[in-house]
Structure 1
Amino acid sequence: MSVSPQLAQLATWMAGHFNNLHQAIAEPVWFANIHVYQCPLPWSVFQGIGFYVEQLYDIYPDQPYRQRVIHLFETPDGIRIQNYALGSPEAYKCAGRDLGKLASLAAAELELLPGCAVQVEWTGSCYRGRSVPGKGCIVERKGRTTYLYSEFEIGADYFHSLDQGRDPETDQVVWGSLSGPFRFVKKQDFSCYLPRWS
């Protein structure tokens, strides 16, 4: 297995447990205290780099509100991250605190989410990602059709993330943060669980 230096660095920085407690304390009206777990998957899942991603509120530690799988790979335009849904999310619930649950995860359990990809670029000091153009990542929420717009910035010890559901016609924000990105700090490093590559 072979991985470029930039892809290896991005994966290393992404692997971990992140939390925004400092932001939630400073701006409690706008930001809840959230934990994000980005857990490396076995190489065999994608024959490449993948993560199980789980997000949960601090007050509900056993009730993740988002579970997904992502695949990191290189294209002629740079690094891309593709999102997948889990066929049986309950089987991997709280795997962020029990990484052994992920040992049996297989590609056959995943459903590709069309249009839900993020293009990543290296800025010279950090990585920045943004939803690919096209408004193709459709999310139905509370009876409304929206498209997911995502962007992030990640460094060695931080992860800033913005997810918004927008109206396909007007681009108005229907759900998600109206006060800028969530600013997470890495609390635990999971890079030791990444597959070894040459």
Structure 2
Amino acid sequence: MNQLKLIEWATGEFDNTAQSKEEPTWYVPLRLWHRLLPHRIQGKWAIFAEQANFLDLERPYRQRVWVLEPQPNGGLAVQYWAFKDPARFRGAGANPGLLEDALEPALDLLPGCWLDVQVVGDVFEATPREGDRCCFTYDSKLRQVVLGFEASETQFLSYDRGVDPETGQSLWGALMGPYRHQKRLAYPVITPAE
């Protein structure tokens, strides 16, 4: 699988302006940044992700890191990591210099937060592994998120949605289908340091 092509397509600056205008009840206007980390995590390439509501771009949220994991069968998987101190990296989407310190000691592995990546036509589709539950603690409460995305040359679809870990009821995110982000700016791919 072409890891470099996934990185080229998935990194950049995106927004869902058109979708939020067409369906304002279900989709808030978001800006989404995906930046290749300047350092590898456990020897693997990694992408920083962050988003912000267009009405409050100065307060981005949902900082996370995807570590790209080549698989023995030639496939690719994505393992999610969280920042131990997300506030320290807040705004790195717009200010990538903040990512110089985004090294493994600043991160926590999120067990169960895996996506398997497949190429379907000219799209990379990333779906949760069978039986996995992506859970983490936030504000002293157990949280669960169902992850997923599709990346093409010009668009990034996010299926991420928060669910109640006890009932499975959807709480936020892609409740009525994916967030459809159009790529507005491509970022150059620079080989990260070891």
Given the two structures, how large is their TM-score scaled by the length of structure 2? Answer: 0.88
- The one of 93, 104, 112 aligned to 1:115: 112
Contact 1:45 1:105 in 2 (8 A): no
Distance 1:145 1:98, change over 3 A: closer
Give % identity: 30
- 5+ unaligned residues in a row in structure 2: which ranges? none
Q: Secondary structure at the match of 1:178?
A: coil
Given the two structures, how large is their TM-score scaled by the length of structure 1? Answer: 0.87
In structure 1, the partner of 2:151 is 154
- The one of 69, 72, 89 aligned to 1:76: 72
Distance 1:168 1:105, change over 3 A: closer
Letter in 2 for 1:87: K
Distance 1:154 1:60, change over 3 A: same
Q: Does 1:166 align with 2:163?
A: yes
Letter in 2 for 1:89: P
Distance 1:143 1:196, change over 3 A: closer
Across the two proteins, how many residue pairs are aligned to each other?
A: 192
Contact 1:146 1:166 in 2 (8 A): yes
- d(CA) in 2 for partners of 1:143 and 1:34? 27
In structure 1, the partner of 2:38 is 42
Contact 1:139 1:165 in 2 (8 A): no
- The one of 88, 94, 105 aligned to 2:102: 105
Contact 1:46 1:107 in 2 (8 A): yes
- The one of 167, 171, 180 aligned to 2:177: 180
Contact 1:32 1:57 in 2 (8 A): yes
Distance 1:196 1:166, change over 3 A: closer
Q: Which moved more, 1:30-39 or 1:141-150?
A: 141-150
Displacement, 1:136?
2.1
RMSD, matched Cα: 2.3
Q: Does 1:194 align with 2:190?
A: yes
